[in-house]
Amino acid sequence: MRPSPAPCAMADLFGRRITYLRLSVTDRCDLRCVYCMAEDMTFLPRDQVLSIEELDRLASAFIAMGVTKLRLTGGEPLVRKGIMDLFAGLSRHLACGALKELTLTTNGTQLARHAQALAQCGVKRVNVSLDTLDAARFRALTRRGTLGQVMEGIGAAQEAGLKVKLNAVALAGSTEHEVFDLIAFAHGRGMDLTFIETMPLGDVGVDRIDQYLPLDRLRACIAARLPLVETSERTGGPAHYVRVAQTGGRIGFITPMSHSFCESCNRVRVSATGVLYTCLGQEDAVDLKTPLRASPDDGPLRAAIAGAIRAKPRGHDFVIDRGVAPALARHMSALGG
């Protein structure tokens, strides 16, 4: 009798294969977006954050175990000292074929000076967070940013040959008034545009119910003016895509609040301090820094990763309601969303 195959180390108890790692390289950011951070943030002491060499080794362990898509996040990953050394080192996994995609999510403020180097490291596309095209509103939402700097970064990325996707957090009282301008801007420049529901992570100094805009409502607003065509296209993440008939461009919707996508979750997240979170909306966490530093051999590290994957929860339990505290004290900037 043939023995049963050994269980996959990167499959959880619900049969979901984990092929996507979002690795935070810093919790720091040069912006203070109103849905992500408090205005006065206390960041991690630098000695608690993994070194560039440790981040490389950690990511490489995941790749050896079956991760094929790696996204570097923050905070803002491009403010991390030595970040391009990390991209250059990780590019070896693209060269040998073990990694299919190396990418990042950025606020775009530092993109102009790094775009060419990113392309040289094998990065093919980047996600840029952009919630508004109005300079004054941009300043208000980010509490300190300059829209022109982000626009320069987007232009530099496209000139370097990077495919750019825009991410916009849907905010009540704001996004509805700009949605068609955002679509025209993105599709006019060959970019996908994805809307994301705000999530109750961390105290940001406002009531979340005042920010929350269900994407069903936003989609209905769009469809009333622009015919939308359903598509089964995916990019390896949680977005559900439609195409706009008039532009041919894609719009994605990420709905952690109104329509859970947990049954198809293929991703885990690691903080800049080496803590593995198997679900963005749960506190289940496993320390990877200790096994990483305890031995030059990756055996204990891989065992810790495999054990965490097996214990990955079925899904998250987000709730947004008037006066209800954030679901988790952890800010979005700690894991990059």
Structural domain includes residue 203 = yes
Determine contact, residues 145/128, Cβ cutoff 8 Å: no
Structure tokens of 263?
């049954």
Structural domain includes residue 191 = yes
Structural domain includes residue 9 = no
Structural domain includes residue 7 = no
Q: What angle (nearest 5°) sits at the alpha carbon of residue 103, between those of residues 74 and 245?
A: 110
For residue 325, the domain's CATH number is 3.20.20.70
Structural domain includes residue 49 = yes
* The residue type at 170: A
Structural domain includes residue 108 = yes
Domain enclosing residue 258, as ranges: 20-334
Number of domains into which the chain is organized:
1
In the chain, count H helices and then E strands.
Answer: 10, 12
Sorted by sequence, the CB contacts under 8 Å of residue 135 that are 6+ apart come out as 146, 147, 148
Find how far residue 240's CA is from the centre of its chain: 15
Look up tokens 């606020």; give the residue.
107
Say if residue 300 is exposed, middle or buried (CB neighbours under 10 Å; 0-12, 13-18, 19+): middle
Of 223, 236, 226, whose CA–CA distance to 100 is shortest? 236
Record the pTM.
0.87
In tens digits, the chain (337 residues) has pLDDT values of 343 334 467 888 888 899 999 999 999 999 998 888 888 888 889 899 999 999 999 999 999 999 999 999 999 999 999 999 999 999 999 999 999 999 999 999 999 999 999 999 999 999 999 999 999 999 999 999 899 999 999 999 999 999 999 999 999 888 999 999 999 999 999 999 999 988 655 444 555 556 788 899 999 999 999 999 999 887 767 788 999 999 999 999 988 655 555 777 888 999 999 999 988 767 778 999 999 999 999 999 999 999 999 988 876 554 444 444 444 454 555 666 5
Structural domain includes residue 14 = no
Structural domain includes residue 161 = yes
In 3-state terms the chain splits into helix, strand, coil percentages (rounded to 5) of 35, 20, 45
